[in-house]
Amino acid sequence: MKTRFLMLLLLVAASQAWPQVAVNFQTTFIGNTMRVDYFHTGTASEEHFSVDRILNDGAWAGSQAVLLDTLNRGLYFYEVTDAATGALLYSRGFASIFGEWQSIAEAKTKWGTFHESVRFPWPQQPVVLTISKRDAANKFVPLWHTTIDPAARNVNPAPMQSVFNTKTLIENGDPATHVDLVILGDGYTAAEMEKFGGDARRLIQALFEVEPYKSRKADFNVRLVETPSAVSGVNKPHPGIFRRTPLSVSYSAFDSERYALATDNRTIRDAAASVPYDAMFILINEQTYGGGGIFNLYSTVAVDNKFSDYIFVHEFGHSFAGLADEYYTADVSYELPEITVEPWEPNVTALLDPAGLKWRALADPQTPIPTPWDKEAFDAFSNEIQKERRELRAAKVPEAHLEALFARKRQTMLEMIDGMEYKNTTGAFEGANYMQHGMYRSAIDCIMFTRNKQEFCPACRRAISQVIDQYSK
């Protein structure tokens, strides 16, 4: 094990030490996408990788100019290097369901296996794929690597033949210079495909009413892929409603009743590849409040809830830009570590170095850091709402009762925030990323903090714009 780890360190060190030059896309890659499917297996303290298949995932939709990821986001990071020279050709940060699963209690006593994929331009020559993960100091350390020869017999270059119907909602230009968003649906029957299209149009409209998406709408293409289900609705284990659907979306992820994820990665990726895509969203044909979002994987949202528009925008912030949740009073399943390092997410900070605040350029120099706000009263009210929410869930009341509770919570919070001194100020407000103390956000309110208003804080707006630039140049 020590020898293997040393070899990985030497491999990454060699790639980093090699003089990096601008990659010529035309001479280095062909116009297709290479998708590497693999199994990610382990426990809370160890993890292993094994290749499932390597195949052609359709025409390359990403940028041909911005091939190296400099944003430093994600729990994991993958690099594609030239096997002969060690030159870095492509890289991206990402997160995964496995990475989240490692943080729950179950992972301490059980093994878990999840199917995952990484995608990059199809190389003309053999390459080395290396996957790294952040260590305790938040530095990327290599975990695994494999050499890929595009001419090898275990690499399938056959073009994918989609069996799904597709539709275009927004077409602004060449996929290489635009963010290409694909929307899938789960729990929609063939007779509900018109509803699927209508839900997608409504939610996309909500997204582009919010900055910075509103100003950058011309940088996006949006397409639908229809994946009809035999039944309407998806799996909901907590209330005992069990269903099997094409994309396997299920509530109760990590035993959190409203967290909705899908683990059939193969099927999801094959469906998404029916169109060019950089980012993915899965609509859930349900009213029950819920959703989820994992950086550079996908987002999910229940479409018929009163707060669906908000959830759509919020969860896309996770999956598209790597934004952290800024709230901290909700029930979560994660075992949270002691704060010892600065988090990688661009919209929260441990404020270990106040002078080096990561969004310092957005703040007025006269604003006190940390920034005072009426946290004690806000927390007391939030805890009362959480208690009432748990009681309603335990009583299994209709969803309308919970929607009414959320609406009352929203109105009261708006009134509380409206009276706070620094309500329109960029600073460092304590309470974020599930941590009541020791973690800070850039504004009193934000889409990543509450359901109060459809507006991102300055740190989130900047972070989203940076990712749009990564795909539209």
SS (H, E, C) 60-112: CCCCCCCCCCCCCCCCEEEEEEECCCCCEEEEEEECCHHHHHCCCHHHHCCCE
Nearest one of 352, 359, 375 to 445, comparing CA atoms: 375
Q: Which two tokens stand for residue 412?
A: 């009261």
Amino acid at 269: R
- State the CB neighbour count (10 A cutoff) for residue 385: 17
CATH of the domain at 147: 2.60.40.3250
Out of 156, 191, 214, a domain closes at 156
35 inside domain: yes
* 236: containing domain: 166-321
If asked whether residues 30 and 148 sit together in one domain, one would say: yes
If asked whether residues 310 and 352 sit together in one domain, one would say: no
If asked whether residues 135 and 200 sit together in one domain, one would say: no
Element (H, E) at 463: helix 458-472
Residue 169 CB-half CA count within 13 A: 23
415 inside domain: yes
Q: Which two tokens stand for residue 441?
A: 């956000």
If asked whether residues 256 and 178 sit together in one domain, one would say: yes
81 inside domain: yes
One DSSP character per residue, 7-72 reads: HHHHHHHHHHHSPP----HHHHEEEEEEEEEEEEEE-SS-EEEEEEEEEEEEE--S-SS--S--S-
For the chain, the domain total comes to 3
Consecutive sets of 10 residues in the chain, 473 residues long: mean pLDDT of each? Answer: 42 44 89 97 97 97 96 98 98 98 95 98 98 96 98 96 96 97 98 98 97 98 98 97 98 95 97 98 97 98 95 97 90 60 96 93 95 92 86 86 85 87 94 93 94 88 98 92
Q: Which two tokens stand for residue 402?
A: 């919970």
If asked whether residues 143 and 178 sit together in one domain, one would say: no
If asked whether residues 192 and 146 sit together in one domain, one would say: no
In angstroms, the CA 447 to CA 42 distance is 34
342 inside domain: no
* The CA-based dihedral angle spanning residues 62, 67, 70, 74, taken in that order and rounded to the nearest 10 degrees: 50
In angstroms, the CA 84 to CA 126 distance is 8
Strand segments (E) across 149-259: 155-156, 166-170, 179-186, 220-225, 249-250
Distance of alpha carbon 469 from its chain centroid, rounded? 17
pLDDT recorded at residue 3: 39
DSSP 306: T
Nearest one of 278, 272, 269, 274 to 221, comparing CA atoms: 278
Angle formed by the axes of helices 399-418 and 375-394, nearest 10°: 180
What's this model's pTM, rounded to 2 decimal places?
Answer: 0.91
User: 268 near 164, Cβ under 8 Å?
Assistant: no
* The CA-based dihedral angle spanning residues 340, 345, 349, 350, taken in that order and rounded to the nearest 10 degrees: -10
Strand pairing category for 435-441 and 348-349: antiparallel
If asked whether residues 115 and 188 sit together in one domain, one would say: no
CATH of the domain at 297: 3.40.390.10
7 inside domain: yes
Q: Which two tokens stand for residue 178?
A: 């635009």
Q: Hunting for tokens 């399943």 — which residue is that?
A: 333
Nearest one of 454, 439, 291 to 370, comparing CA atoms: 439
If asked whether residues 11 and 150 sit together in one domain, one would say: yes
pLDDT recorded at residue 394: 85
Out of 156, 188, 223, a domain closes at 156
Residue-wise over 435-466: b if at least 16 C-beta within 10 A, else e?
Answer: beeebbbbbbbbbbbbbbeeebbbbbbbbbbb
If asked whether residues 365 and 441 sit together in one domain, one would say: yes
If asked whether residues 151 and 220 sit together in one domain, one would say: no
472 inside domain: no
**Cα angle: 26, vertex 220, 56; to 5 degrees:** 45
If asked whether residues 140 and 175 sit together in one domain, one would say: no
404 inside domain: yes
Residues 6+ apart with CB under 8 A from 178: 172, 219, 220, 221, 471, 472
User: 223 near 167, Cβ under 8 Å?
Assistant: yes
If asked whether residues 16 and 113 sit together in one domain, one would say: yes
- State the CB neighbour count (10 A cutoff) for residue 56: 19
User: 336 near 102, Cβ under 8 Å?
Assistant: no
Out of 124, 156, 188, a domain closes at 156
In angstroms, the CA 134 to CA 341 distance is 11
Residues in the chain: 473
In angstroms, the CA 88 to CA 410 distance is 48
pLDDT recorded at residue 331: 53
> Which stretches within 253-295 are classed as H helix?
265-272
381 inside domain: yes
